[in-house]
Amino acid sequence: MIKLYYHPSPNPLKVALYLEETGVPYELVPIDTRKGEQHSAEFKAINPNAKTPAMTDDGVRIFDSNAMMIYLAEKTGQYVPENKAEMYSWLMFIATGIGPYSGQYVHFKHFAPEPKEYAVNRYDFEAWRHWLIIEERLTNQLYMMGDQYTLVDMSLWGWARVIPFVLGADAWEKLPNVKRWLDSINERPAAQRAEALKTQFQFKAEMDDDARNILFPGNARLA
């Protein structure tokens, strides 16, 4: 049985969507990152990087969401396109570009202390640059791999859901094809089930001093 160690944030959600789409049985294990549960010895034995998501499959550990998506694709053979070269390229683009630049932009825009003008400018530029590449990709096709819905779409969906928080409330004006694509995935029953997973548990919502110290421990060096 697969155990998915989960927090309702973009990277865990894309893995949850794949599991829901494929119907693979799994157990959800909540990890409240704002309470620091990712730093427990038990969790770090599964993911030494102390981040969600992580997964075990009958005792075999898999960490990093991109590795988990590829592992599940190889295990099930579902939602895998014929053109694996394109699939791997876009999966890595999401893993090394969309996720990190979107995440860092959120951090500096919403949570970092001043002064931060340089960092906000850099990550705003790079986050938009990456999302506009996706916008162009979706201009003349339904999904990232053409007419076929694949694990590439599921991987991107996790971050696309939070585009207004990342890029601003008016972001959809510049990303109409991404919005059309996102709406089509949100209509899928599996996506709705994946979104509903967060209601099964009570996760800490407050970004108080304790949460900041847990999530951004490097700030202690500035004191």
Domains of the chain as residue ranges with CATH: 2-78+194-222 (3.40.30.10), 84-187 (1.20.1050.10)
For residue 166 the two structure tokens come to: 């990342």
Q: How far apart are CA 191 and CA 180, in angstroms?
A: 15
Question: 16-33 burial by CB neighbour count: b if 16+ within 10 A, else e?
Answer: bbbbbbbebebeebbbbb
pLDDT tens per residue, range 20-35: 999 999 999 999 999 9
- Return the percentage of the chain with pLDDT > 70, whole number: 100
Q: How far apart are CA 73 and CA 23, in angstroms?
A: 13
Global pTM reads 0.95
pLDDT of 223 higher than 80: no
Distance CA 128, CA 31 (A): 30
81-98 pLDDT, tens digit each:
999 999 999 999 999 999
* Per-residue confidence band for 220, with pLDDT thresholds at 50, 70 and 90: confident
